[in-house]
Amino acid sequence: MKTCLVVDDEKPAREELIYILKEIEGIEVIGQASHGKEALQLIDRLKPDIVFLDIQMPEMNGIEVARKLLNKEYTPEIIFVTAYDKFAVQAFEVNAIDYLLKPISEDRLKQRLESMVKEDKHNESLDYDKLKALICSIKPETADKKMRISFHQNNRLIPVDIEDIIYITIENKSTIIFTSKGNFDTNHTLNELMDKLDNNVFFRSHKSYIVNLNYIEFIDPWFNYTYNIHLKNSDAIIPVSRSYVKDFKEIMNIE
C-alpha cells in the first residue's frame, strides 16, 4: 500500500485528484494541503510515500517545496502537477522528474501509480542534481505566477496581461490597477496581488504602491534617503518608502 498526500491551492483540483486516487488499488490518500508550508508540515507528520505537488501556488510554489525537502531526513517520492505547456514540460522529461500535466489524464495517473505499487520501491531522497537542473530549466520564482488577470468593468470581464500593468495603488480604501488598457478597481489587497505577480518585475515600493519595474523612466533621490520613481507613459510619481529602500537599491543595482 502506497500512502499519498495531495497538495494544491485550488480545492476542486484537490478533490478531483483525490477522487481518481481512491479508485486505484494499492493507493491510500492520507492527507491534503492547500499551500506549500502546510505541505511541509504534513510531510513531516504523516510521512507519505508519494506527494502530488502542484507547482503554481502562492507564497511557496511546488519547486520551492521540493527544494526544502532536500534538506530533510525524510523525503517522499514527488509527482509534480503542472499546467505548463508542452515545451516547459520537456524540462521534466529531460531531467527524469515525474509529472502530471493538467488537466490530469486518469489513464496516465493510474498507469504510473500501478507501476509504482508493483515495483514497491521508495526513493530515500530526492535526486539533487536532477532537481537542480529542473530549477535551472524552469524559473521557480515565476512558476506560481499568472499570465493575466481578469477585471470586472461595466458588467463585463476584461482580461489584462500581467505585463500591461503599470502600477497599483490604494485610493480611498480601494485598490486601483493602472494598466495600458485603462484603470480597474479590484477587491484584491496589495498583498494578494503580489502573490499573483512576478517579484522580479513587480516591486512593493510603499505600503500603498506596487510598481512594474519595466515601466521605470528614471529615479529621483528624495528626502531622507528615499526615492521617487517616474514612469514611462504616465504622470504618476511612485514613492519608495524607507522600509523598502534597501530592497529597491538591491533589485535596481543602486550603489
pLDDT digits (tens, 9 = 90+) for 20-44: 999 888 899 999 999 999 999 999 9
Domains, the chain, ranges and CATH? 2-142 (3.40.50.2300), 154-251 (2.40.50.1020)
On whether the pTM is more than 0.85, the answer is no
The predicted structure's pLDDT at residue 31: 96
Question: From first to last of its 255 residues, what are the pLDDT tens digits of the chain?
Answer: 899 999 998 888 899 999 999 988 889 999 999 999 999 999 999 999 999 999 888 778 888 888 888 778 888 888 988 876 655 666 676 666 788 887 788 888 888 887 777 766 554 456 767 776 776 666 544 444 557 788 888 888 888 888 899 999 999 889 999 998 889 998 889 988 887 788 778 999 999 999 999 999 999 998 888 999 999 988 899 999 998 999 899 888 887
Q: Is 177 helix (H, G, I), strand (E, B) or coil?
A: strand
Q: What are 169-204's pLDDT values in tens digits? A: 999 889 999 998 889 998 889 988 887 788 778 999
What's the whole-number average pLDDT of the chain? 84
Strand ranges for the chain from DSSP E: 2-7, 27-33, 50-54, 77-82, 99-101, 148-153, 156-161, 165-171, 174-179, 182-186, 202-206, 209-212, 216-221, 227-231, 237-240
